Structure 1
Amino acid sequence: MGWLTVIALLAFLFLAFVAFVSYKMVKPPRLIEDWTPKEFGHDYEDVTIETRDGLKLSGWWIDNGSDKTVIPLHGYTSSRWYSLYMKPTVEFLLKEGYNVLVFDFRAHGRSGGKYTTVSDKELTDVLSAIDWLKKEHPDKAEKIGLIGFSMGAMVTIRALAEDERTCCGVADSPPMDLDKTGARGLRYFANLPEWLYTFVKPFTKLFSGGREIHPIEYADRVRKPLLIIAGEKDPLVKVEEVRAFYERNKRINPNVELWVTDATHVRTLKFHPEEWKAKVGEFLRKWMA
């Protein structure tokens, strides 16, 4: 076997490995658990939300007798069932008196869709959920707030900029530069070197059909109340990246707040639950009133 053949074989094996990693990244495992809002003493309705691009999302509608609804948005590889932050967030919102509409993003949980685009087409999911809410329960949607975690936080920022029906949002651990977070994610999720992301990225776009989304680009567009939560020990999102968004956004948005904690990624609620609930509760009461 000549050297050229060996090099060609190694190149093929490398590209095959990169393609495999890319495929696994855009097709995350589906997290499904068995708890329901009945654990909190609330009846709920299983709902199917048809997206503007024809997918079917699975979710819960929990009518809490209010004219205000909050939509919690989960992160990449998670779902509405994630006990780390989704379950306590749903419980918290119900105790605060809000209606809750919670669903699984495409390619997550029980929702349709083969691939995640990590905040590109997921915006369509959120806008479609708001469409559903406005059509099915218009009297329950006088005010609509969002609480997003990680990928859901990215979508929260985008929705505040692009949909007039949202009134305010909380973005917990939002990646600001998806290239940087994606590279760190290879190490965090798969224990692979960050430099591999340069080769993985084109394949993820090829498989998913998604566009690159960098929330930092929305810093000049969000003019609604926004609470951003960042953790100093976050291995995926650096505080300085979040702070750069905050400093840029506050030039046009007097109602943006930044809360920096000592937590890791999306774990402020876990490590500082009472502080998180107090801070987020105060923010929502102020802007959902």
Structure 2
Amino acid sequence: MFKCFLLFVMLTFFLILFIAYKKVKLYINPISLQKEKVYVDYYVKDLPLKEISLITKDNITIKGWFAENNSKNAVILVHGIVENRSFMNRLTKFYFENGFSVLAIDLRNHGKSEKTKTTLGYNERLDVLSAVKFLKEKNFKKIIIHAVSMGAVASILAKNENPNDIDFIIADSPYISLKESALYTYKIFSKPLANIFANITLFLGEKLTGIKISRLNIRPLIKKYHKDMLLIFCEFDLFLDTKKAYEEFKSFNTVFFENTIHAMAFVWYPEKYFQILRRVLSKYD
């Protein structure tokens, strides 16, 4: 009887370990989940898009396109995990029509950018910083960033390294803490085993990427730079308890979209979303 129980425990442990390992590998190398290649669609087909290449501080090649406008204001668009610059096409059109030059990038290991490990925002901050450098070298006076999901985390981390050159961030659906996010996601699917799954996943993530999980906590940075930031949360999010996040940050510049999923508010509710953006952009007229 005891041997059967011991065997069951061991099999359960190795099953949890296997699932956690596969999940970490999927996030580190999410290329298999990318269904769409970089594409030009209705929203951007008439824009003066120019393909550009950037080199990050850690020598990774980042691809993107740049649509230059007759303005000293520019925006960097940063997608989330398993997406690429084309996910932001509606926003590319919106910002260009509102007088901004637009730089939309593919984060490392996504789109046409160089293939390497995905680090859920930490090394991706260097991709964002390379985009900021590109625009500063073109003498743009005001640089804002509009980013979603992992891209929003990367952008907030970039702001902390170069606060003077990033004037404002629209952060749509960022996770606040990777540790909290992992626990929240696992609780949705398996509440009794959530802590075990989360801790093993985070441990493997640290070992496979070399990145300390504690570095992927943007809560103190939100509090530090909240005057230069708009936070957007969507009601149904598998990666974050958005109602709790909204309550925590509602005294800041924060918007909550009901009846929409992670990072999709600008697709499902474009009129309301763009109205909010116009209020933000009015200071750059």
The equivalent position to 2:233 in structure 1, one of 208, 230, 234, is 230
Kindly provide the CA deviation profile for residues 268-289 of structure 1, in whole angstroms up to 9, marking residues without a partner as x.
2122111100111220222x34
SS in 2 for 1:274: helix
Identity value in percent: 23
Unpaired segments ≥5 residues, structure 1? 248-255
Counterpart residue identity of residue 207, structure 1: L
Residue 146 of structure 2 corresponds to residue 147 of structure 1: yes
Distance in 1, Cα, partners of 2:22 & 2:43: 40
Cα-Cα RMSD:
2.6
In the alignment, what sits opposite 1:241?
245
Distance in 2, Cα, partners of 1:99 & 1:109: 21
In the alignment, what sits opposite 2:52?
47
Contact conserved, 2:44 with 2:92, CA < 8 A, in 1? no
Distance in 2, Cα, partners of 1:158 & 1:246: 21
The equivalent position to 1:284 in structure 2, one of 261, 276, 281, is 281
CA pair 115-17 structure 1, distance change in 2 beyond 3 A:
same
Counterpart residue identity of residue 177, structure 1: S
Kindly provide the CA deviation profile for residues 140-175 of structure 1, in whole angstroms up to 9, marking residues without a partner as x.
x11100111111222233333332101111111121
Residue 208 of structure 2 corresponds to residue 211 of structure 1: no
Kindly provide the CA deviation profile for residues 60-108 of structure 1, in whole angstroms up to 9, marking residues without a partner as x.
11112211110011112211112xxx12111111111110011111111
In the alignment, what sits opposite 1:111?
113
Question: Mapping of 1:130-169 within 5 angstroms?
Answer: 130-135=132-137, 137-138=138-139, 141-163=140-162, 164-169=164-169
In the alignment, what sits opposite 2:201?
200
CA pair 211-281 structure 1, distance change in 2 beyond 3 A:
farther
SS in 2 for 1:222: helix
CA pair 97-45 structure 1, distance change in 2 beyond 3 A:
same
SS in 2 for 1:221: helix
Kindly provide the CA deviation profile for residues 202-255 of structure 1, in whole angstroms up to 9, marking residues without a partner as x.
1122222223211112134215421111123333222222432454xxxxxxxx
Contact conserved, 2:145 with 2:166, CA < 8 A, in 1? yes
Residue 178 of structure 2 corresponds to residue 178 of structure 1: yes
In the alignment, what sits opposite 2:30?
28
The TM-score, its normalising length taken from structure 1, stands at 0.83
SS in 2 for 1:124: helix
Distance in 1, Cα, partners of 2:47 & 2:219: 38
SS in 1 for 2:30: coil
CA pair 33-126 structure 1, distance change in 2 beyond 3 A:
closer
CA pair 17-233 structure 1, distance change in 2 beyond 3 A:
closer
The TM-score, its normalising length taken from structure 2, stands at 0.84
CA pair 208-38 structure 1, distance change in 2 beyond 3 A:
same
Contact conserved, 1:176 with 1:245, CA < 8 A, in 2? no
CA pair 90-37 structure 1, distance change in 2 beyond 3 A:
farther
Contact conserved, 2:43 with 2:90, CA < 8 A, in 1? no
SS in 2 for 1:176: coil
Residue 271 of structure 2 corresponds to residue 274 of structure 1: yes
Contact conserved, 2:147 with 2:172, CA < 8 A, in 1? yes
The equivalent position to 1:128 in structure 2, one of 130, 134, 140, is 130
Equivalent pairs, count? 271
Unpaired segments ≥5 residues, structure 2? none
In the alignment, what sits opposite 2:70?
65
SS in 2 for 1:112: coil
Question: How big is the shift at 1:186?
Answer: 5.5
CA pair 61-187 structure 1, distance change in 2 beyond 3 A:
farther
In the alignment, what sits opposite 1:253?
none
CA pair 128-13 structure 1, distance change in 2 beyond 3 A:
same
- Relative contact order, higher structure (CA 8 A, sep 6+): 1
Contact conserved, 1:174 with 1:242, CA < 8 A, in 2? no
CA pair 219-114 structure 1, distance change in 2 beyond 3 A:
same
Distance in 2, Cα, partners of 1:174 & 1:205: 20
SS in 1 for 2:120: coil
Counterpart residue identity of residue 50, structure 1: I
In the alignment, what sits opposite 2:97?
95
